[in-house]
A and B are shown apart, each in its own frame.
Chain A
Amino acid sequence: MNSGPLLFLGLFATMACSWTGFVLAPQLQLGGLTQTNTVVVGDALSQTYPLAQPGEAHAGSEVYRANACAACHTEMVRPLDLGSDIQRNWGVRRSLAEDYLLAIPVMLGSQRIGPDLANFGRRTDTNGIYLRLYDPRLITQGSVMPPYRFLFETHKIGFFHSTDALVLPDQDAPPPGFEIVPTPQARALAAYLLSLRQDGYLFEAPPPPLPRTNAVPTNAVATNAVPAAAKPAAK
């Protein structure tokens, strides 16, 4: 171990080992993934998955990136036996490599200071998103999420009210004659968050066997009902 060149060779070999195992091999295996079809049970129709994000959703992912939302939120659901993600209705199945095929950049996050967002589009709606961004404590009491009021602007009500003006309780309401509307950034971010869904079972995460009734399973798809404003969210 006294020779410079041997030292370099050894370091190169160990680096190559790690690079091959964690950069090259995954690229060879997963780099060629393409859109695929969902696995269905019974008479349901198989669909292409994943579908491309509509343009505004991609712009929204840029807002997500710029504000580093991934600092507090993850976008990956763990399997049924590995944590309580699915029991919390954060997803119907675990996340797979296929789910992120068309996302750039992929912001999986690393810490959950806030809940997981992989399937956020299935359990929220536009108005709920706007309220939560404007003041998270309107939706979830005791939340530590910072408000993102700079994504909204207050302006005089014109001839007509804006259709997406926020409806706020009295203490947060704007002065009379004014309304609070989301900026294009907020709209894009909302479009992105609504596009976050990972339904559709795939080969790697097949559907559970159908029960022998027509009843819907208990942890079924959440509705698009607006969450009641004053109740703390059950997540």
Chain B
Amino acid sequence: MNVIASPAPTISPASPQAQKVGAEASCPVGMLTLFAGALLWLLAASLLGLRTSLNFHAPTFLAGHGYLSYGRVHAAQNAALLYGFGVPSALGVGLWLLCRLGRTTLAGPAIVFIGAIFWNTAVALGVGAVLCGGGTGFDGFELPAWCAPLLFVAYLMIGLCGLLTFHQREAGPLYPSQWFVVGSFFWFPWIFSTAALLLLCVPARGVLQATTAWWYVRNFDTVFLGFAGLASAFYFIPKILGRPLRSHYQAALAFWTLALFGSWGGMPDGAPLPSWIISLGVVGTVLTAVPILTVATNFYQTVRADLNALDADPTLRFTYVGLMFWIIAGAQQIVGALPRVSVVTDFTWFGAAQEELFHYGFFALTVFGALYYIVPRLLGLDQGAWCPKLLKWHFRLTFLGVLFSYISLLVAGIGQGILLANSGNSFVDVMRRTMFPVRFNLTGDLLVVLGTILFLLNFAGVLVAAYRRCCAERKGCA
């Protein structure tokens, strides 16, 4: 039933002249600042994550002062990961995609640069404040109240540049990645301002604070980060394989259903809320099976077992694996929402495993894949600028690390849930019995940290190579 309904769209391959008017012709400083800041924050978050994992080996380690105690470091780690790494990398990749697909240069690169500096400063101050005890107490929205307007202004600066870039695009049909990028750029200010208002400015009454916080986190992850990562996947996988994306219509279906159903939910089943809110959340989560199946079908038909290409190109490898992890994380979220399952898995490591897989396995890997393609081209180099050994080990370490972390937390979560369901097992007994996989998570964290360091070294190497080439050219000109 896969009949091609109408003649193919007539997008001509970009001519050499046209290619010059692309992202590569943009001033790279803004986007590079976003990427560099994001990577440093990823490393910081991973190191903070290392410290929290250490708690389960030696709870008294580093617990002398408040600054490095488990709770504060956990909150700081989450903030660094989501706001230090997540948002800037989503913005940076999104801006580049808008330039490329719109065949235009970045609008207002200086503003993007200032916005990036502003954003990173606000996050740094906020994470420091969290470590000093100023966190808000909401999971996923930890940065203190005074940070919110700073972040919002910085985002607006960058987001408006993106909007202008989109507006000045070359006329022609939109490619799915553009919808996803515009969608993610649009979604964040809405959810962020709602959460900031209802949690910090004019706190909602009672349990509504928790409802808003859960709604915000679900929207941030599934819609904002999901859109940003999928935009990258929809662009790079067909492009590098040299094949068209199988179906525009499936992409549209996935886009709208992910926006619609991905934004419903986030409340745990046992939350102190009337049953209609929880049921609506369950329905929304289960219906995200629609976009997941659609994306899976679309890419399966596009890729069609051409898995040899995965070895050849790092971008393809990272993006493809990231997409697989997105599907698995999404499937786990659906299973975990079903009432019969959530009775067992709620409030256990199960949720932590899903978050880990989504943030590191899907989003970070997808961003890595995008950066491997984008960064050299932004600097006027080609793919050969990356050191192949560092690249190879970056992939192996990160992939293994994510896998170890995910599987150990998943096993711990399911075990904890099943044991806790029997009220005869005392709580501390259950924790003792599930401690081994929780402790094993430390290996996963270590591998991810190492992989990130390797990538940072590689990134620095590319920057140095670009600088040298720039100097050589200048000398040549002179």
Contacts and interface: CB of A to CB of B under 8 A. Distances in A.
B174 A144 contact: no
Contact of B274 (A68, A97, A101, A107): A97
A69 B71 contact: yes
Q: Is the interface of A mostly helix, strand, loop or mixed?
A: loop
Interface in B136-164: 136-139, 142
Interface stretch (B30-38, B210-218, B457-465): B210-218
A117 B428 CA distance: 15
A10 B256 CA distance: 8
Given A7-B179, A11-B182, A26-B211, A66 B133 contact: yes
Contacts of B472: none
Interface in B181-221: 182-183, 186-187, 190, 194, 198-199, 203-212, 215, 219
A4 B56 CA distance: 50
Contact of B69 (A14, A18, A148, A234): A148
Contacts of B383: none
A132 interface: no
Contacts of A156: none
Given A7-B182, A23-B212, A65 B135 contact: yes
B113 interface: no
Contacts of A140: 428
B207 A30 contact: yes
A232 B426 contact: yes
Contacts of B203: 104-105
- Assign chain A's interface to a size class: 35 or more
B67 to A, nearest CB: 9
A216 to B, nearest CB: 19
B65 interface: yes
A72 B138 CA distance: 13
Contact of A67 (B60, B133, B210, B274): B133
A21 B206 contact: no
A70 B274 contact: no
Contacts of B324: none
B302 to A, nearest CB: 19
Contacts of A4: 166-167, 182
Contacts of B427: 88, 114-115, 235
B466 interface: no
Given A83-B346, A103-B206, A18 B263 contact: yes
Nearest to B135: A68
A82 interface: yes
Interface string A91-133: 0001111111111111111111111000000000000000000
A186 B167 CA distance: 56
Given A18-B219, A111-B348, A82 B269 contact: yes
Contacts of A64: 137
A79 B207 CA distance: 17
20 contacts: A2-B174, A7-B182, A18-B263, A21-B264, A66-B134, A67-B69, A67-B72, A68-B71, A68-B135, A74-B347, A83-B346, A88-B427, A99-B206, A101-B205, A101-B206, A105-B136, A106-B207, A108-B272, A143-B59, A146-B59
Interface of B: 55-56, 59-60, 63-66, 69-72, 74-75, 133-139, 142, 166-167, 172-174, 179, 182-183, 186-187, 190, 194, 198-199, 203-212, 215, 219, 248, 252, 256, 259-260, 263-264, 266, 268-274, 277, 280-281, 339, 343, 346-349, 351-352, 420-423, 426-428, 431-432, 435
